[in-house]
Amino acid sequence: MAMTAQQCFMKQSCTSFPQSSRFVVSARVPSIRPWLRSPSPVPRSRPALNAASPTKGKKGLNIDRDGAPVVANDDKASIDSFDFDSVLQRDLIANGPRSTRRTKIICTIGPKSCSSEMLEMLAEAGMNCARLNMTHETHEWHAAVIQRIRELNQKRGYSVAIMLDTEGSEVHLAQCEPLNAEEGLEVALTIRHMDSYPPNTFRVNYEGFVDDVKVGDMVVVDGGMLTMEVSSIEGPDVKCTVVDPGLLLSRANITLRDRQGRLIRGKNANLPVITAKDWLDIDFAISQGVDFLAISYVKSADVLANVKSYIDSRRSQDQSPIGVVAKIESSDALPNIESIARSADTVMIARGDLGAQIPLEQVPAVQQEITMVCQALGTPVIVASHLLQSMIQYPTPTRAEVADVAEVVRQKADALMLSGESAMGSYPEKAMDVLRAVAIRTEEWCRQESVQFDGSELPHISDNIEGRIQEEICQAAASMADKLKVKAICVFTRRGTTASMLSRCRPDCPIFAFTDANDVRRKANLRWGVMPFRFDFVSDVEVNVQLAFTFLKARGLAADGDHVVLVSDLKPTPDEAVRSIQVRQIK
């Protein structure tokens, strides 16, 4: 049997990897052909509605100056109990459900974006999740930011999720002032602890640093943003000369390579994945009740099982589960990627650190293969690092960066993540605008070229009959929705599992996920194509359906005559699950 183009790519790319990092996915994934023509311009997601009186939107709906439909009194009581993201509603009204962005956006919060005003600006621009990096700042600082995000969610109707990212056992610089390092500059890296350091001297957090390096080795800083050559070793100090100039930033990670460019695996290779500081940060994450916890430098699935067990033992009975994110930033993780993806709630491809440990030319292939593995297994996948790196300093990205972002969207990753661009960059809102615009445009190209993800090709991932039933229902629902060109798939779910299964199938229409839990709503907001809403379910499933239809019509998201596919996993009793799939016409 002839292999698909994607399978050929997997075979070719896998054979180019060194034996220690070779991995394959045990699933058939359909080919994705490139687009050939440019689409028409995509409308801005923020409509310019300045008039005080209502105006006409799509389908002749009355909408106010904020982009919200004017709701009739008869419907108002029915929809008052619904919680929905005001930004999502605005985008749906402006662009229509099929043209609203499916790829989600994560923003790293730092000194430039931690104020209530900046957080609101990012949320208005389309931020779906806020990431807090525990490598920087104190618990008090992070707690204050978390409180601001929750206040904005409450007051402004956002559903921004919160992710805490542990520091991990990476080798990095200590806190320092940024330095624009020119070629030939002499720099000293030391393991000494001092109240103040001489000019161009920076402390390294790893005590064995001087034992791992030799004269002539290359010190790669922040994934290649700066490269130095070791010129001498003097006790606790390593003297270096800048050979590739760049910006040396506070707490930047360090990778060592020999003169032939091979990764140096010294004592640091045996450092624990989770440090003593990380366990304190995990305790902090549990106490704050965050939505996601990212574990750095994951090498195997065992550490994820350990973290999940620890979280379950520490969180209270009424506290919502915390999703565990596995960060793939070590070459040691590549042979275990499938088991990691099965164990993790989400996978993050941290290309900066990972790209410093594997040859640069392998990064695109590794990124695509990890994305395909995660999609096949139904695990959300985030692509991070250096998406718009130039926008830390400049108001516009390079064309290569735009092409990179478009490729990630074309691969149908669940989310894009901004790091320094939003944490410390000068133009966080413009960076958000670029990600949003490129995502919308690329998704439209894929639709015009009929580039669809065939859910029927997905492998079975459940090991019991209940899970298999759910998989088959979701694949059938997505296939039916694509063939019938329905308005949307409406799913009613308490835990978000069915919505996630539908997202795995990457249907062409949006997934309107209705749940009765706010934490499920926030977590679902990170899944590709899922647009979550919350309201209090009743025992009668048909009443829930009619309430949802009333809400969609009142908010201008659907109209009489539209067809939708309905999927439900609600349980009338704890021991009975009613799983159903229907095609309904909204009336």
* pLDDT greater than 80 at residue 10: no
**pLDDT (tens digit, 9 = 90+) per residue, 231-288?**
999 999 999 999 999 888 888 888 888 887 788 766 556 677 888 899 999 999 999 9
457 CB burial (10 A radius; 0-12, 13-18, 19+): middle
What would the CATH number be for the domain defined by 100-170+271-448?
3.20.20.60
- pLDDT, residue 265, reads 67
Cα distance between residue 506 and residue 541, in whole Å: 26
Report the C-alpha gap between 453 and 29 in whole angstroms: 8
Exposed/middle/buried for 415, CB within 10 Å: 0-12, 13-18, 19+? buried
Lowest mean pLDDT of 23-32, 160-169, 547-556, name the range.
23-32
Q: Which two tokens stand for residue 268?
A: 């640091």
Residue whose tokens read 């070229």: 449
Domain locations in the chain as residue ranges: 100-170+271-448, 179-269, 455-507+510-585
CATH superfamily name and code, 179-269: PK beta-barrel domain-like (2.40.33.10)
Same fold, 100-170+271-448 and 455-507+510-585: no
The CA distance from 197 to 192, in Å, is 9
- Is pLDDT at 37 greater than 70 in this prediction? no
Helices (H), 289-427: 301-314, 337-343, 351-355, 363-377, 399-410, 420-423
pTM: 0.80
Q: How far is CA 99 from CA 91, 488, 509, 552, in A?
A: 9, 12, 9, 17
- The pLDDT value recorded for residue 270 is 63
Q: Give the range among 85-89, 281-285, 416-420 with minimum mean pLDDT.
A: 85-89
For the structural domain made of 455-507+510-585, what CATH number should be given? Answer: 3.40.1380.20
Q: What does the pLDDT look like over 391-409, one tens digit per residue?
A: 998 999 999 999 999 999 9
Average pLDDT, rounded, for the chain: 83
CB 528 within 8 A of CB 104: yes
Q: Binning pLDDT at 50, 70 and 90, where does residue 290 land? A: very high
Radius of gyration of the chain from its Cα atoms, rounded to whole angstroms = 24
8 vs 278 pLDDT, higher one? 278
3-class secondary structure, 547 = helix
Long-range pairs for 46-54: beta carbons < 8 A, 24 or more residues apart: 46/90, 46/91, 46/94, 46/124, 47/90, 47/93, 47/94
Pairing of strands 580-585, 563-568: antiparallel
The residues, ordered by sequence, that sit 6+ positions from 441 with a Cβ below 8 Å of its Cβ are 39, 42, 406
CB 124 within 8 A of CB 87: yes
- Contacts of 199 by beta carbon, 8 Å cutoff, 6+ apart: none
pLDDT of 453 > 70? The answer is no
With cut-offs at 50, 70 and 90, classify the pLDDT of residue 47: very low
Q: Which amino acid is at 185?
A: L
Per-residue tokens: 378 = 């139904």
Asked whether 122 and 545 are in contact (CB, 8 A), the reply is: no
Alpha helices, H only, 183-275: 209-212
Q: How far apart are CA 23 and CA 337, in angstroms?
A: 7
Lowest-confidence region among 201-210, 268-277, 293-302: 268-277
Averaged pLDDT, 116-132: 95
Mean pLDDT computed over 435-452 = 86
